[in-house]
Amino acid sequence: MMTPASTRNPGMMQLVFELRKNNVADDVIDIMERTPRELFVPQAFQDRAFENAALPIGHHQTISQPLVVAIMTEALELTDRCKVLEIGTGSGYQAAILAPMCRRVYTIERHRMLQDEAIKRFAQLRIHNITTRCGDGSKGWPEQAPFDRIIVTAAAIDIPPVLVDQLAIGGIMVVPIGDDQHDQRLVKVVRTDDGTEISDLGWVRFVPFVEGEVLP
């Protein structure tokens, strides 16, 4: 069992306070408190690891703001039976938060170096229910579909129909939408027998969702 980060770094106490102030659920806060965010942050930003802010991780990617991680996690309404697809592994932080709350996480990253680093972090934390792939996240992971939950950690221009098709009936997808970093909305998509139900979760700022080749 991981030791709560607040006992290792006083900065986590302030972050927990901010999460509670924003009405984040206790179970999500507990997992975030036990997951060492400093492990997922580059050395140059170690002194900011517990700030409620997005931070660069290289390759023009970021580790998301902790409050946004919490909001997206909570919106997924996870159970221990859920099979989850994550588009955009990045540092691996979001996947590490999801893993204790579900059956398995399948996560795709197009930057091979980021994927390799994330795999090492999962092993260090002894997280064994995450499966990774280096590839084009816009195609999803059809061999493993359908998924009970899908989370997209980059902003798409519109709700990706390919990913909706890989979502189980009754499943939930959380995805940022918008082609301008200053005008993005986080939306929750529930797939129904008749189509989808969409709700707005508020303003966010993510790097763009990029289709195409795998990068080093």
Strands 104-109 and 83-87: parallel
Distance CA 179, CA 13 (A): 35
Structure tokens at 202: 């508020």
Q: Tell me the CA distances in angstroms from 110 to 95, 100, 169, 173, one per residue in order.
A: 15, 24, 27, 20
DSSP 43-89: GGGGGGTTSSS-EEEETTEEEPPHHHHHHHHHHT---TT-EEEEE--
- Nearest CA-CA partner of 173 in 194, 131, 201, 193: 201
What are the residue numbers of the active site?
64
DSSP bridge pairs for 84:
105, 149
